[in-house]
Amino acid sequence: MRVVMIGPPGSGKGTQGALIAAHFDIPRIVVGDLLRDHVARRTDLGQVVHRHLGRGELVPDKIVLCIVREALIAARAAGGDCVFDGAPRTMAQARAAHKIATELGMTANVVIQLLAGEEELTRRLLARAAVEHRADDTEQVIRHRLALYQQMTQPILGWYSRRGILVSVDATRPIDEVGRGILAALELKRQPPGHVPARVRRPVDLTRLGVECAHP
């Protein structure tokens, strides 16, 4: 099973993505975490990414797509299943990522869309900022990020819907209730017998992802 998580900042993609990964015993690949790791380690890629994240801007497509390709190759080598969070965020990314995934035989089976209103998202992100001290979670940057999501990411949802793989979930409900709804939907879309069983999967090594993307 290959799942893509889509939702605005603060909608709970991380929480629900981790739940899906644990429930189905599949790797979870979070593009944002990979990028922030490069920022923390001050790699060449991290320095480029830092300038964009600090302004609440989207990371350039070339960098994101490079990491997407590396991550899909790693997931394929480990058995083929994964939960993917953090890309695509633009229509151009969606089309390019689909082309990459098709070439690798790693296209998504289902896309989970998490729905929540702007005020609730802002409240959640400000609360998170107080705990994590993330530079990209000031109120001004949050508003900008949410506006970018509406402008750039929403059109992707119609594209996924037309492909018949979009599942929309109300993310304002209690976390466990949201999780149960997602897992129930995914159980209906599980791969048929013949997919790679858990016992022959190998761990996905994400430690080197992005190294080749510093100068895409």
CATH number at 16 reads 3.40.50.300
d(Cα 163, Cα 158) in Å, to the nearest integer? Answer: 9
Q: What is the pLDDT along the chain (216 residues), one digit of tens a residue?
A: 899 999 998 999 999 999 999 999 999 999 888 888 888 888 888 888 888 877 767 788 888 888 888 889 989 998 899 999 988 888 999 999 999 999 999 999 999 999 999 999 999 999 888 888 766 678 888 888 899 888 888 789 989 999 999 999 999 999 999 999 999 989 887 755 444 444 444 555 555 666 667 665
Q: Is residue 208 part of a domain?
A: no
d(Cα 213, Cα 49) in Å, to the nearest integer? Answer: 11
Q: Is residue 103 part of a domain?
A: yes
Q: Is residue 212 part of a domain?
A: no
Q: How much is the pLDDT for 53?
A: 73
Range of the domain at 104: 2-190
d(Cα 138, Cα 130) in Å, to the nearest integer? Answer: 10
Global pTM value: 0.80
Domain count for the chain, please give it. 1
Q: Is residue 211 part of a domain?
A: no
